[in-house]
Amino acid sequence: MGFKENVAKIIEHVGGPANVTNASHCVTRLRLVLKDENLVNRDALEENELVKGTFSANGQYQVIIGPGTVEKVYQEFVKQTDAEEVSKDEMKQITAEKGNPLQKGIRVLADIFIPILPAIVAAGLLLGLNNLLANPGIFFEEKSLLDVYTGWTGFAEFINVIANTAFTFLPVLIAWSAAKKFGGSPLLGIVLGLLLVHPELMSAYDYAADPEGVGYWNLFGWEIAKIGYQGQVLPVIFAVWLLTWSEKHLKSFIPGNLQMLFVAPFALIFAGLLTFGLIGPITMTGSNWITDGILYLFEVSPAFAGGVYGFISAPLVITGMHHIFLGVNLQMAGTLGYVTLWPVSETVTLAQGAAALTMFFLLKRNKKLRGVSFAATISAWLGVTEPAIYGINLRFRYPFIAVMLASAVGSAYIAAQGVKATSVGVGGVLSFLSVYPEHWGFYFLGMGITFVLTVGLTLGFHKGNLFQTRKSVDKKEGQTVETKKVATS
């Protein structure tokens, strides 16, 4: 079939033009809002020459096409369907109303955290670079690179200041992103974030060490503690929601020519008072309980906690719930100066790529899927696992199950050895840079265990016909034949 015919088949297999409400695209995928996803013929859709995989997430049905080609497919798709064209941001707003309250809450967290993630990852990499320079025993026995080449000391200190900036002013980054998400003024969000870490306040770290040393504002008999919110996540999100709510309501009755004078001051005073006096202390206590609870689990039974987290990490990505744990990791990095969940969960990134690579060698007759699996392997090992998950591993089921089991074992070992990272870092093969150098040996061994188990389990499930729903091509007939294989006792 020609290009237009292939696009027409895509439209047919997503339920026809009448089933398409809105259409958008990103760098690699068509993003569609469909009236009824039950009308999608996924098997036929994925046989299309232009399609490299499909999945449904966050109220959108996404068709993986690939960079460059996706723009041409999108233009032809819109031309043939007359679907309403929308931007990615508009698509998010359209799909925001879909799903249950938990799904909506997860989408809110994702939309807040993802825009600031590049700054956090950059900080993690720079902290990793500082670790390479300042830790002994990496390049020289019992000495660091700075001990041998003292001229690099100033550079290392400079790098360390840059790296710590993102975590020192983490509430500012979160407040800016949250204000954009909630529809408020990003500038007012920045001001509120700066207020929460103002140097006149007692920092959250100092307060934890000496609660009795805090000062108070006396507001007509209302005593409000002068405590900063360094390293906090939930208090900042709630504070910005209050700010945005008050900003919108003030604009609803203050005349336009007076809004510049009164909206910003009143909104900041209202949100600031409630944050410092009520919402902040409650949510900060809750955030600290979450962090302490996770640390307690890893202290009582680190292997069990790490194993469970490694086992569920892959399904969490599908549901989007991994964004909740991203918030926990940011909370840890900001308050403790290290993270435990992130290095434990990185086994999944390696395992997704390992499973996709194994499928590359198993899919001998299907050149299209071999190409997808190889590209997905590279993508996963560079930190982006969605192509491996949706393009290959979930499609065949048993590679995904192998990923879950192997990650559980690898994560259990890494957690048992107490591996920590400086922050959330870049995923994939460079993830070790964010891990403390003294833990590299345990980290590499845990990753090695994960890789070997993933490959072995994938091959074993394939050979034993376990958990399989595979497609094979009968070359003699030239037809696609689906064979379903289930586990046998």
User: What SS3 state is found at 389?
Assistant: helix
The residue type at 454:
T
The DSSP element (H or E) to which 480 belongs, if any, is strand 479-485
b/e map 60-86, b = 16+ CB within 10 Å: bbbbbbbeeebeebbebbbeebebeeb
- Measured between alpha carbons, how far apart are the two ends of the chain, in Å? 44
Alpha-carbon distance of 286 to 306, in angstroms, equals: 22
Separation of alpha carbons 73 and 6, rounded Å: 9
Spatial distance between the Cα atoms of 388 and 372, rounded to a whole number of angstroms: 8
What is the spatial distance between Cα 235 and Cα 229, in angstroms, rounded to a whole number?
8
Among all chains, which residue has been given the structure tokens 């400079």?
158
Report the C-alpha dihedral over residues 474, 475, 477, 482, rounded to 10 degrees. Answer: 20
Task: Please identify which of the residues 18, 26, 39, 278 carries the catalytic annotation.
Answer: 26
What are the helix (H) ranges across 232-301? 234-253, 259-274, 280-300
d(CA 51, CA 390): 12
Distances (CA, A) of 182 to 86, 423, 436: 20, 27, 37
Active site residue 177: no
Q: Are 226 and 275 in contact (CB under 8 A)?
A: no
Distance set, CA 88 to CA 91, 227, 317, 463 (Å):
5, 39, 20, 42
Tell me the sheet residues that pair with 24: 31
Hey, which residues does 240 pair with through a beta bridge?
A: none
Percentages helix, strand, coil for the chain (3-state, rounded to 5) are 70, 10, 20
Summary count for the chain: helices (H), strands (E): 21, 9
Cα-Cα-Cα-Cα torsion 120, 121, 125, 131, nearest 10 degrees, comes to 50
Distance CA 231, CA 331 (A): 6
Cα 275 to Cα 238, 249, 260, 282, 345: the distances in Å are 8, 18, 23, 9, 33
CB distance 395 to 46 below 8 Å: yes
H-run or E-run covering 396:
helix 394-396
Active-site residue numbers? Answer: 26
